[in-house]
Amino acid sequence: MDLNSRNRKELVDILKNSGIDSPEVLNAIGKVKRELFVPPELKNYAYNNTSLPISSHQTISQPFTVAFMTQLLEINPGDRVLEIGTGSGYQSAVLKELGAEVFSVERIYELITKAADTLSNAGYEVHLRHDDGTKGWPEEAPFDKIIVTAGSPKIPKQLLGQLATGGKLVIPLGDEISQDVVLIKKEFDEIQEKNKTGANSYSEESIKYKMKRYKNFKFVPLIGEEGWNI
Ligand code: SAM
């Protein structure tokens, strides 16, 4: 076993001991070569459980955070997943290892071009778009799952609108200093559901959102129309 494979295995053990218990997510993290997604001078730190700087003052997220948010989404093979904040491309690669079809949007051109090269050299086919991700990707909606990997003051309405009913969205919500990871499930209201006359007879009002919060994360800001106006 080479050094990177050993380090990857150790990282999976650290995540397991930190409460990540989805075998699928642990398996995916155990497969993605994180050293390909960090700058060359930081390769020795690729398997530390920390975020690391990439270019354009952005970061590749801490492996625990990637695993935690991915686990909340409960990805099924074939799910159409929208990621906002491609960054290095690492999170996209983890989603691909879980069998998802991945659509990822990044606002910084330098990062999206670099991520496109990294992902394709590593054999991951991901649909990429250079744009303000707070607007989502309307032409490809609806999505079964949406993951936002930058911290926002609010939930972008356009993302909620592009989430399939029965779908899940995870997003860090808070101020510039710290955020909570919020999981939103888009469901039909059970009482209204009893009144249905046909499979697609639900009204907008019968859709409800269940929210759950997980404390204390630190992300770079989501900058855009429905994020921070910096
Ligand atoms: N998921 C990335 C990875 O695996 O490397 C880490 C992402 S980094 C923590 C957050 C990213 O969100 C940055 O690359 C940043 O440029 C991007 N970002 C911020 N606001 C955005 C927006 N409105 N639309 C798309 N990307 C945005």
Reported pTM? 0.94
What are the tens digits of pLDDT across the range 48-101?
999 999 999 999 999 999 999 999 999 999 999 999 999 999 999 999 999 999
| Per-residue pLDDT at 194 | 55
Question: Would 91 be classed as within a structural domain?
Answer: yes
Give the position, in ligand 1's atom list, of the atom nearest the Cα of 85: 12
Of ligand 1's listed atoms, the one at least distance from the Cα of 90 is: 4
Q: Is 61 in the pocket of ligand 1 (CB under 6 A)?
A: yes
Q: What average pLDDT values come out for the chain (230 residues) when binned by 10 residues?
A: 92 97 98 98 97 97 98 98 98 98 98 98 98 98 98 97 96 96 87 52 66 93 94
Residues with Cβ within 8 Å of 118's Cβ and at least 6 positions away in sequence, in order, are 36, 37, 88, 89
Ligand 1 centroid to Cα of residue 102, in Å, is 15
Give residue 111's pLDDT.
98
**Any atom of ligand 1 within 6 Å of the Cβ of 85:** yes
Give residues with Cβ within 8 angstroms of 67, minimum separation 6: 15, 20, 22, 25, 26, 29, 94
Evaluate whether residue 229 is within a structural domain: no
Which ligand 1 atom is nearest residue 91's CA? 4
Q: Is residue 230 part of a domain?
A: no
The reply to whether ligand 1 has any atom less than 6 angstroms from the CB of 58 is yes
Residue 139 is predicted with a pLDDT of 98
Judged by phi (left if over 0) then psi (alpha if -120 to 50, else beta), residue 216 lies in left
Distance from the CA of 197 to the center of ligand 1, in angstroms? Answer: 42
In the chain, alpha helices (H): 3-17, 23-31, 63-73, 90-97, 109-121, 157-161, 190-194
Question: Tell me, what's the pLDDT at 207?
Answer: 74
d(CA 102, CA 132): 17
Q: How much is the pLDDT for 20?
A: 97
Give the β-pairing of 207-217 and 179-188. Answer: antiparallel
Report residue 47: phi and psi, to 5°.
-105, 15
Query: Which residues are annotated as catalytic?
Result: 61
Going by alpha carbons, the residue nearest to atom 11 of ligand 1 is 85
CA of 126 to the centre of ligand 1 (A): 15
d(CA 174, CA 181) in angstroms, rounded, equals 9
Domain assignment present for residue 222? The answer is no
How many domains is the chain partitioned into structurally?
A: 1
Q: How far is the CA of 198 from the centre of ligand 1 (A)?
A: 40
Residue 192: predicted pLDDT: 54
Q: What DSSP designation does 152 have?
A: B
Q: What residue numbers bound the domain in which 91 lies?
A: 3-217
What is the whole-number distance in angstroms between the Cα of residue 150 and the centre of ligand 1?
Answer: 5
Residue bearing the CA closest to ligand 1, atom 12: 85
| pLDDT number for residue 27 | 98
Minimum-distance ligand 1 atom for the alpha carbon of 133: 24
Asked whether 65 lines ligand 1 (CB < 6 A), one says: no
pLDDT at 47: 98
CATH of the domain at 153: 3.40.50.150
pLDDT tens digits for range 101-114: 999 999 999 999 99
